[in-house]
Amino acid sequence: MTDARGQVSQPPARHPAVVLLSGGLDSTTCLAWALGQGFVCHTLAVDYGQRHRVELEAARRVAAALGVSDHREVRVDLRVLGGSSLTSEEAVPKRRDATALTTGIPSTYVPARNTIFLGVALGFAETLGSSDLVAGMNVLDYSGYPDCRPEFVRAFESLAALATRAGVEGARFQVHTPLMALDKAGIVRLGLSLGVDYSLTHSCYDPSPAGLACGHCDSCQLRAKGFREAGSPDPTRYAC
């Protein structure tokens, strides 16, 4: 490995990290980022009873394509609790305008989802002796989700230090959120610069039985806008 001045440099330390991987555009970009940072990545997908279960297959596909040898899937059946259009029969909102997309908290909000996901990731990290978590929260395109804000992430880090054996022994957990300040176009540009093949990923909240994207839910609209603004062809397979 050579640095910018052509001199030989050391590769980054090979610490283990747990990467939350939904199989979507954001988390896939995070995984590519974490691999680029030199982390030994262990990926975690959560089967929470989401209506877009096809994303679990995408997560497996992405993990395999990016050479992750330890991909785990944990079931947390949040349908038992309801409270979200992603875990119930309630219709997913469609064709919302740009203002609605970035203001208010939509019905696709899943109560306490990121607290639960980071909790499971924390448990996984502790079994690995890792104190690094990587997650795809970003505030710009999902300002409606309270558990995507930096203050939530910092509070979780504080909790993690108190919640764990490793914390008691001095570990300081860090939740890396490399997408936090990027918009969707920025995320696409970052992923492309890291060689991500976005045709492997799935973002749609309401896919067809064959797994094709609806093109109209919030997630589809934000994803399409990202490719458009990044000036990159959209590899998504749409149902119509």
Interface ranges with a second copy (CB under 8 A): 72-78, 80-83, 105, 109-116, 119-120, 122-124, 126-127, 146-147, 149, 151-152, 155-156, 158-160, 162-165, 167-168
Nearer to a second copy, 51 or 225 (CB): 51
Nearer to a second copy, 115 or 199 (CB): 115
- Whole-number Å distance between alpha carbons of 187 and 178: 9
Of 135, 154, 150, which Cα lies nearest the Cα of 26?
Answer: 135
Nearer to a second copy, 191 or 218 (CB): 218
Name 42's bridge partners: 18, 70
Q: How far is the CB of 75 from a second copy (least distance, A)?
A: 5
Of 191, 169, 236, which Cα lies nearest the Cα of 26?
Answer: 191
Q: How far is the CB of 225 from a second copy (least distance, A)?
A: 24
Q: How far is the CB of 206 from a second copy (least distance, A)?
A: 21
Q: How far is the CB of 12 from a second copy (least distance, A)?
A: 26
Nearer to a second copy, 34 or 45 (CB): 45
Q: In which residue are the tokens 């093949």 written?
A: 197
Q: How far is the CB of 41 from a second copy (least distance, A)?
A: 16
Q: How many CB atoms lie within 10 A of CB 143?
A: 15
- Whole-number Å distance between alpha carbons of 100 and 85: 16
- Whole-number Å distance between alpha carbons of 140 and 125: 28
Nearer to a second copy, 12 or 129 (CB): 129
Helix (H, G, I), strand (E, B) or coil at 117: helix
